[in-house]
A and B are shown apart, each in its own frame.
Chain A
Amino acid sequence: MGVGIEVTNLNAWYGTNHTLQDINLHIPANHATALIGPSGCGKSTFVRCINRMHETNPIARVTGSVRIGGLDIYADAKPVEIRRRVGMVFQRPNPFPTMSIYDNVAAGLKLNGYSNRHALDEIVERSLKDSALWDEVKDDLKKKSGASLSGGQQQRLCIARALAVDPEVLLMDEPASALDPVSTSKIEDLIFQLKSQYTIVIVTHNMQQAARVAEKTGFFLNGRMVEFDSTHKIFTNPSDKRTEDYITGRFG
């Protein structure tokens, strides 16, 4: 139920800073693709170009094309439309602080005018189950606020919130980097289960995490994509020396 992403000659700027240079790659549908690389190499910027969040910064600029399921998201669609089809989970969990757990999960639908209470109940339950949070919160859905959960629970709540709008692509920008190891492994299990239903792109600092969850991996360095191949190949027999240096820990 996910779609593939075709990126062609993508260039991105923050003001005069040329953050992404000539990115070309194809992200396969219904797979998890990991993006690795040292800090500041542009992985987060890349991912934010896919759901057009990059341009929320007034000094940001993008050229090139990104096609999701064949649709050119820059030329043929508006940002709001794209963001309903591409979900995002951020590095730091950011549930809406004034809303209950239920309202948080339903936010993407309610704020877009969806009002069928019965259907919303079902969607909230299914999303929370898909993000492995249901059992922990099912009794407090409307009583507890989203911000009163633990860090790992908040992140799963954010995942449920993203899933509730049934996106085709799920972008995850270092989703577990702010969490403890137990929560991290829960989230990795989640990604493993979800990737059959969505196309997942996960940015990660953690190479072992990439190896655990992703079929394909892309290595970013200084705004360029150096190598993009199956995870197995990247980690055992990379073609590019720079990739090998990063994998073996010579830098980054």
Chain B
Amino acid sequence: MKAGENNLRSKIRALTDNGVTALAILATVLVIAPLVAIFGYLIFKGATSLNLAFFTQIPKPVGVAGGGMANAILGSAILLAVASVLGVPIGIGGGIYLAEFGRGTKLANAVRFTADVLNGVPSIVMGLAAYSLIVLPQGHFSALSGGVALGIMMIPTVCRTTEEMLMMVPHAVREAALALGVPNWRSVLSITVRTASPGIITGCMLAFARVAGETAPLIFTALGNAFWSSSLNQPIAALPLQIWIYAQSPYDDWHRLAWAGALVLIVLIVVAVSLVRYVTSRGVLKGAS
């Protein structure tokens, strides 16, 4: 009888094992499916709407066919530039502190923890802070405020990726520089940071990719602009913002533009993410043993 029981039990166990395997595979398929669906649909809808005009023209008035999102692409580039001026130096500096000066200290642990928590804060909150900080006192929406909102988002991201890359530089390299009588600041910048620079740059690219697709913080800072604008003191168009405005509209023409814009955005992001993966998988510190 015991043998029969054992037989049944082991059959159930084997069945459960197989069942779980099947479920796990199903889960994976269900996860990959939307990815494929989204990409497929984007390419299908977006590719047909992409033409040269998209990249060179600004939006046409409602009812007039054609037009493009050239001003939005320019706007996104300007916003990204402003964000980088704020986010990249401070972020890299923070990363240098965490990896080179503060290793193991309580302050460094607190900074790292806070940076990770900040990375989870909704981006719209950053937009609200930038609105209160810049738009209100200035009395108008501006590319500057949008750039600042995005820059604030970049700082914790760049800080952590820089720290991770610097930690990968072998200690022997630092020791070699110090033993030569190179001052510490020079050793950190010209040796350690330089050795890790491919990784740090890819970390910045990741931050760009993330920030380039952000819409919420721009809604009430950069606001959007239907015309060419490169001034920092005026509202400015941005690719994701424009996509949102068009998606909400009732016009088919604008929907097509939204799809095209989405395709451009997703291609840029995929390129950035793939590049990051490529560099980090090949061994960021080529040559460092």
Asked if A115 lies at the interface with its beta carbon under 8 angstroms from chain B, I say no
* Bound form: Cα–Cα A2–B181 in Å: 18
A-B CB contacts (within 8 Å), total count: 80
Stretch at the interface among B24-32, B45-53, B190-198, B230-238: B190-198
A56 to B180, CA, bound (A): 13
Q: Is B6 in the interface zone, CB < 8 Å from A?
A: no
Interchain CB contact under 8 A, A96 and B178: no
Partner of A97, one of B173, B175, B178, B190: B173
Which of B112-120, B149-157, B280-288 faces chain A? Answer: B280-288
User: Which residue on B lies nearest to A113, using beta carbons?
Assistant: B186
A80-B176 contact given A111-B190, A145-B287, CB 8 Å threshold: no
Cβ of B178 and Cβ of A98 under 8 Å apart? no
Known contacts A84-B181, A94-B172; can you find 6 more A-B pairs with CB under 8 A?
A53-B178, A98-B194, A111-B191, A112-B182, A147-B287, A161-B176
Contact partner of B181 among A58, A90, A108, A146, CB < 8 A? Answer: A108
Q: Are A87 and B179 in contact (CB under 8 A)?
A: yes
Whether A165 pairs with B286 at a CB distance below 8 angstroms is no
Q: Which residues of A contact B (CB under 8 A)?
A: 51, 53, 56, 58, 80-85, 87-88, 90, 92, 94-98, 107-108, 111-112, 145-148, 158, 161-162, 165
A115 to chain B, nearest CB (A): 14
B177 at the interface (CB under 8 A from A): yes
The distance from the CB of A181 to the nearest CB of chain B, in whole angstroms, is 21
Task: Please determine whether B287 and A98 come into contact, CB atoms closer than 8 angstroms.
Answer: yes
Known contacts: A97-B173, A98-B287. The answer to whether A83 contacts B187 by CB under 8 A is no
Q: Is B4 in contact with chain A by the CB < 8 A criterion? A: no
Contacts A/B (CB < 8 Å), 8 sampled: A53-B175, A53-B179, A92-B172, A94-B175, A96-B195, A97-B288, A111-B182, A162-B179
Residues of A within 8 A of B288 (CB): 97, 147
For A56, the chain B residues whose CB sits under 8 A away are: 175, 178
Q: How far is the CB of A127 from chain B (nearest CB, A)?
A: 12
Cα A148 to Cα B195 with chains together (Å): 15
Is B182 in contact with A108, judged by CB distance below 8 angstroms?
yes
Contact A94 B186 (CB under 8 A): no
